[in-house]
Each structure stands twice: as structure tokens, then as C-alpha cells.
Structure 1
Amino acid sequence: MKKQGYKVVFKEFQNGSPEMQALASGKIDYARVGDTPPISALASGTKLTYIAEGGTKASGSGVLVKKGSGINSVSDLKGKTIAYTVGTSSQYMVLKTLKLAGLKTSDVKLENMDSAAAAVAFAKGKVDAWAIWDPYVAKAELTESAKLLVNGKENKAVNRSFVVSPSSYSKKNTKVSKLLIKYMEEDMKWANKNTPALTKKMSKELKMSKSVIKKMLNRRTFKISAMNSEAIKEEQDISNQFYAYKWIKTKVVIKNHIANLK
């Protein structure tokens, strides 16, 4: 991007909820984010556009429980406390997981907390289960005697990532968006081919052990490309489910918020 005359500034957020707030206030021009935050943002009135889709974390996302907890199936979650974070993909994970056993949200106790607080609560046994994604999952599996009760492949909450932008910005900057997709796609291909180097880099950046990062990378494929019909369908399903459960007050039609980069 520098060779093309652009200066890129990176800003990190703990999860997609504050990231969408930053996007809505004009503090960032692009956000790489999970599947649920853009929908919540659109429903609340944020004008954003989907620029690109990423890969999924299906194998490393889901609902964690402790080994030996007696929770061995989704039906065992009835009456249990589940930690999750409102406005993130974990909210959808909970919904899809409960549906596997015909449970309602009223059949469990949902505790909304950020990932850092949830990690502590899960480690101390203050919650029975935790809806979360890698690398938190990998860390809990390796250090907290945890297991995925159900993952994104099983509950169909695949936790795909997306690149979104304020609508006003994306309309005026299609060239930038195209370049961003091009160079990010190159980065993703590098990531898939250079696991040892990526493990070392991510371990340092995330301040996590190499064993945790390696476990995460072994079940994940990186990708960035222009939006396609499958990803749009996935997002629409989330929007429909959230609207049906009254978690959002406005029904969001995803196809109306896709960038035209032709």
C-alpha cells in the first residue's frame, strides 16, 4: 500500500463490538471483524458496507466446557451458566448450539462479559460453559482441561471473518478497497504456507505460548476475497435469527450492504 501512495495505520480491538463503535464514529476506515458485529451495527443504524470475506474458525470456535464437568452433550447445558459476549460471534454460537438440543435461551443462564473476564470466570469455575473462539479455545484446551462441547462445524456457526468499511468511505474509495483485498489475499496465502514463521510471530504479538498458537493454526485456513453468495447467505441467517429472537430490532438485508467493486 505504501508503494501505491497510501499510509496504513493499524489499530487493535479486543473484539468486534468496540471495533464497530470506532467504525461508526469514523475513527477507522476498514475493520476486519467476525460475522456478528456488522449485523448488530447495521441494525443499530451504522451505515457500513461489506468489502471482503475471510476464512472461518469453525474448528476452533464453539462452546467450551471443563472435562469431568458432567456436561457431555448440548442437552446437559440445561440450567447451566454460559459466558458469551453480546455483539460478537459468540452470541450466535450460543443460539445455534442450544438449537441442536431444542433448548431455548431461557433454559440456560447467559452471562454477558468480555473475553478477558470470561476467561477468568471459566478458569475459576464461576461459569459452566464459555462460547468463544481461537486462540482462547486452544489456550483453554491446553491449560484449563477444557474441551469443545460443540464446534462451528457441528452447530453451523462457522465464525467467518469479514472486512467492512463505512458506506460513505467505501463508495469513494473503491480503488483502495481493491488494493486492500489484493494485498491481504497475498498475506493470507503467505500465512497458510509459512506456519512456523507465523507461529513465532503470533506467539510474540498475542503473548501466548507457541503450543497454543500452533494448535490454533493447525485447524485454521486463512483467506481474503471479494464477497460471494455463500458468505452473504451465512450473514443473512444470523440476521434472521437475531431478528426472530428480538436481539436486534431492525431486520437487516445483507445483500443491500455489499460493495460493488467491479
Structure 2
Amino acid sequence: MRKQVTILALFLALIVFIIGCAQDDTTSKDSQASEDVVVKIGVQGSGGLFGKAQEEKLFEKAFAKYGATVEWVEFQSGPPMTEAIASNKLDFAGLGNMPIIAAQAAGIPFTVISQVLEGKKNVGVVVNSASGITSLHDLVGKKVAVGKGTNAYDFLLRGLFKEGIDPEKLEIINLNPDEAQAAFDAKSVDAWAVWEPYLTINTLSGKGTIIADGEKLNLLSPSYQIVRTSFAEKHPDLVVAFLQTYDELLQWELEHEEEAVNRYAKERNLPVALMEETRKRARGISIPVSEEVIAEHQRTADFQFKIGTIRKEINVSDVFDNQYIEKALKL
């Protein structure tokens, strides 16, 4: 009997030891969850706020605390960014409302973690100053450049419908910003629906005139910061660190406005006055997404479904999550 008790005691001790080892191993894995992680950050074009971050390795320093490194990936517009997220080739992206709506409708797993542009004046339609075009109605029968699937494409369509104009009566040409700028300069298109800084670049230079923007038409085109959902679930601390670093960059802009404007103007080989105007029209923010903005985003999604741009109805609130920005800003 004593021998059986001893064997049982040894068996129980062995079980406790194995469980303890498993817990230690799990704890070890959790503590190293971010180690060897390469955080892929998407940017649209070079320079700007992220250009400063890259130069000073601000995100690299923030993520190094967690054993993670950074890879920068450049894009010309939003839709390719969501495609990269879908294939696990991108973790963070800042983009407008339409690419986000299309991505959700396509079942791409992402989460909106903050709002980065208000959306009143950052998107619009610019025309050649000598064209005589003064309103959206004047675009009937004209060639209009726009990147299909972008927030500018959404703005153009919503603006036309709001003004009672059939988009089929326009010749809408799908061009990325570089192609559209060349076409606009050559006057091979009559108008261009696009975002900042292209609006200001073409107006202050005297080439173009803005005939519609969100403020004039009372249409919001906000931009957001998004993250690949599985990345956020595995590395919530890195998401918070990303947002904290982005907020630090915005604070630098506010405290060093003249330096920031001069820097950005030099990067784009533009006059300082032009860059100052660009910042007035599209000043960066980093805030939780309000219920009002989500409601407007839902109306945009409903409109896109109605006209057939997306093939299914979506509940946009499913992809918004303010917990990370609230932690980052300590709200």
C-alpha cells in the first residue's frame, strides 16, 4: 500500500512538473511574441511625415523595444495597399474611405484604428484654369481622370449623383496620380478628381481651378489608419506603439510648423507658399473615429452598393475599433 502511495505521489509530482514547464514555455513565447517580427508599413509616395520618420528611424526605435523591425512599402494609391494586406504583405496603411469600403466588401481582414484626415477639403475635382469649366454640370461630355477604387472616385460619383448628373454622360478615365498629372498637364483630360497635395499643386501653380470639394458639396471623404486584423490580434502592443509614434510626429509638426513646411516643400521641389496651402486643406490628425463619422462612412458604403461598385451590403461598424488609439492617447 505504501509503495502504491509513493508511486502515485511521484506520478502527481511529474504531472505538476510537466504543466509547470508548459506554462513557462508559453510565458516565454508570449514574452517574445514580437521578436523577429518584421512590421510592414505602407506609405503613399515618399517624403512627408513618414519621410521624417524614416530618416530618423522613429518607428524602428519604437518597435525595437519589442524586438520587432520595420519594412517600408511604397504605393501610389489605396487599393493596392488593401490587396497587400489581403496577402499578408502589409500590416499598416493610411488610406481613404473608398478603398476601405471596397476591402470590407471583398472580405479583406483589416481593422480601422484611427482617423487621420477630417475629409472636408482633402479631395476634390480640379479643371484646367482656361477650360471655362466652373461646375460638375460642365463635365458632361468631358474627359475626367480618376483612380478607380480611390476616395477621389467615390467623391466624384457621390458628387455627380448629388448634383443629379449621370456619370455615364462623362468619359471617366482610370489613371493613377503620375499618369493623371501628365494627362492634365498635356490637357488630354478636362478634369481630374484627386486628393491633396495634387489639388493645391495644380491650383497655386496657376494651372488648375478646384470646382468641387467636400466643403462645397457637403460630402466627407475622411482618411483612416488601418491594420491587418491578425497582426493586431497577435501584437496589440505594436499597434499602440505605432499610433503613439504617429502622434509624436504630428506633435512635431505642430511645434515646428515652419520647419515642417520648408522640409515638405523641398522634398517636392515646390514653393513654400504652395505647401502651406496644402497643409491648410489637409492637416493630419490622429483621433478615435466618432459615431458621426462612422455613420457617414455607412452612408457612403450604402451608396456604393446601390450603384453597384461593391457587390454586397456591409455593416461598416464591424471594422472600426478605437481601443488602440484610446490607449495610445491615454483617453
TM-score (norm 2): 0.73
Cα gap change, 1:37 to 1:206, in 2 (>3 Å)? farther
What corresponds to 2:305 in structure 1? Answer: 243
C-alpha displacement at 1:249, in angstroms? 0.7
CA distance in 1, matches of 2:254, 2:261: 11
C-alpha displacement at 1:90, in angstroms? 0.9
Listed one character per residue, the Cα deviations across residues 139-169 of structure 1 (whole Å, up to 9, x for unaligned) are 1113352110011112234332211112212
Q: Are the counterparts in 2 of residues 84 and 110 from structure 1 also a CA contact under 8 Å?
A: yes
**Counterpart check, 1:180 vs 2:242:** yes
C-alpha displacement at 1:137, in angstroms? 0.9
Residue of structure 2 aligned with 1:110, choices 164, 168, 172: 172
SS in 1 for 2:314: coil
Q: Which amino acid aligns with 2:90?
A: I
Cα gap change, 1:17 to 1:222, in 2 (>3 Å)? same
Residue of structure 2 aligned with 1:141, choices 194, 203, 211: 203
Greater mean alpha carbon deviation, residues 88-97 or residues 208-217:
208-217
Listed one character per residue, the Cα deviations across residues 215-247 of structure 1 (whole Å, up to 9, x for unaligned) are 201333221123321221232122111111101
SS in 2 for 1:8: strand
Q: Which amino acid aligns with 2:205?
A: T
C-alpha displacement at 1:118, in angstroms? 0.8
Aligned pairs for 1:67-216 within 5 A: 67-216=129-278
Normalized per residue, the structure richer in helix is 2
SS in 2 for 1:91: helix
Q: Which amino acid aligns with 2:65?
A: Q
Q: Which amino acid aligns with 1:199?
A: V
Residue of structure 2 aligned with 1:53, choices 111, 115, 136: 115
Residue of structure 1 aligned with 2:85, choices 4, 18, 23: 23
Cα gap change, 1:205 to 1:252, in 2 (>3 Å)? farther
Cα gap change, 1:125 to 1:236, in 2 (>3 Å)? same
Moved over 6 A (4+): none
Q: Are the counterparts in 2 of residues 51 and 162 from structure 1 also a CA contact under 8 Å?
A: yes
**Counterpart check, 1:220 vs 2:282:** yes
Q: Which amino acid aligns with 2:105?
A: A
CA distance in 1, matches of 2:322, 2:275: 36
Q: Which amino acid aligns with 2:170?
A: V
What corresponds to 2:317 in structure 1? Answer: 255
Q: Are the counterparts in 1 of residues 92 and 227 from structure 2 also a CA contact under 8 Å?
A: yes
CA distance in 1, matches of 2:322, 2:212: 36
State the identity %.
25
**Counterpart check, 1:64 vs 2:129:** no
Greater mean alpha carbon deviation, residues 2-11 or residues 55-64:
2-11
Q: State which structure, 1 or 2, has the greater radius of gyration over its C-alpha atoms.
A: 2
Listed one character per residue, the Cα deviations across residues 5-40 of structure 1 (whole Å, up to 9, x for unaligned) are 343333221111111121111111111112211111
TM-score (norm 1): 0.91
Higher RCO (CA < 8 A, seq sep 6+): 1
- How many aligned positions are there? 262
**Counterpart check, 1:41 vs 2:133:** no
SS in 2 for 1:79: coil
**Counterpart check, 1:4 vs 2:32:** no
**Structure 2 unmatched runs, 5+:** 1-61, 325-331
Cα gap change, 1:206 to 1:43, in 2 (>3 Å)? farther
Q: Are the counterparts in 1 of residues 288 and 322 from structure 2 also a CA contact under 8 Å?
A: no
